[in-house]
């Protein structure tokens, strides 16, 4: 199985998201029906989820959200719960993206509760981890990965591991146009796998890479051992380029 997940971040209005989703459906639906071993999902902003669901309903392309609150409901003005997302047909929710950790100061304990809620309502959590440039330069990459994984997964019961995907996204590569080298990616993914196994998770947990993934480097990244998918940012907003990334995943799935 190969995975391609698009994170649209704070881009597109509902009408723009609808048109983009339609273009992806037109460009990919037939191929994805022929190659079911490649799973594709997009994560638009909250206000655009309904429009995207209309555009993709009945197609092989799935949709998800970029975040959720850790409570099911309550007096949390401006927040969105996993229960709401599930009713909109979301199949995935990003948990712990570095931009959430940085700008919203989300803690490991908070992320653990979010992960539990996502699974509770039948969706798949995509747990994002990764080190900053300073942490990499000081040789702390492995320690940061292990701390982030244990800090979240160590706080949830094994029943919350269902459907988990892990996305390694070095913070210094997100939105910079500079992806990690194949050697850096392979090394980090090996650390992720080892850490997951140490915590008792099954070896089948998919590990994705994210950070300046584009059509020009997707195939080489997907060819790295332990990399079974990509989390795509800016390039997922360009229909032709995102389709090219998905086709790279299809080719790698047959290697």
Please state at what angle helix 239-253 crosses helix 14-34, rounded to 10 degrees.
Answer: 20
Phi, psi of 98 (to 5 degrees): -60, -30
Of 69, 70, 97, 241, the active-site residue reads 97
User: How many whole angstroms separate alpha carbon 180 and alpha carbon 192?
Assistant: 15
Q: Residues near 185 by Cβ (< 8 Å), separated by ≥ 6?
A: 168, 179, 209, 221, 224, 227
Catalytic residue among 169, 189, 214, 241: 169
User: Rounded to an integer, what distance in angstroms lies between the CA atom of residue 236 and that of residue 4?
Assistant: 10
SS3 25: helix
Concerning whether 169 is annotated as a catalytic residue, the answer is yes
**Bridging pattern class, strands 229-232 and 2-7:** parallel
What are the φ/ψ torsions at residue 177 (nearest 5 degrees)? Answer: 85, 0
Q: Contact, 95 vs 111, CB < 8 A?
A: yes
37, 24, 13, 48 alpha-carbon torsion, rounded to 10°: -40
Tell me how far apart the alpha carbons of residues 102 and 97 are, in angstroms, rounded to a whole number: 9
Question: Active-site residue 134, yes or no?
Answer: no
Q: Which residues are catalytic?
A: 97, 169
């Amino acid at each position: 199985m190969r995975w391609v997940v698009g994170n649209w971040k704070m881009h597109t209005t509902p009408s723009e998201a609808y048109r983009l989703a339609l273009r992806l459906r037109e460009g990919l639906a037939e191929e994805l029906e022929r190659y079911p071993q490649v799973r594709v999902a997009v994560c638009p902003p909250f206000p655009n989820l309904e429009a995207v669901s209309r555009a993709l309903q009945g197609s092989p392309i799935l949709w998800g959200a970029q975040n959720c609150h850790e409570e099911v409901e309550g007096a949390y003005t401006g927040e969105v719960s996993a229960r709401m997302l599930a009713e909109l047909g979301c199949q995935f929710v990003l948990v712990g993206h570095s931009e959430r950790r940085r700008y919203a100061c989300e803690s490991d304990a908070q992320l653990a509760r979010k992960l539990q809620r996502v699974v509770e309502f039948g969706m798949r959590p995509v747990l994002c981890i990764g080190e900053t440039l300073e942490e990499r330069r000081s040789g702390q990459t492995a320690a940061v990965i292990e701390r982030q994984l244990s800090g979240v997964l160590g706080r949830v019961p094994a029943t919350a591991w269902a459907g988990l995907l892990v996305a390694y996204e070095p913070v210094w590569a997100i939105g910079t146009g500079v992806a990690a080298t194949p050697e850096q990616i392979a090394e980090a993914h090996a650390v992720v796998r080892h850490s997951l196994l140490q915590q008792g998770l099954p070896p089948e947990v998919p590990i994705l890479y994210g950070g300046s993934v584009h059509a020009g480097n997707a195939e080489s990244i997907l060819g790295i051992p332990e990399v079974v998918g990509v989390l795509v940012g800016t390039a997922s907003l360009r229909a032709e380029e995102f389709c090219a990334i998905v086709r790279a995943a299809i080719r790698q799935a047959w290697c």
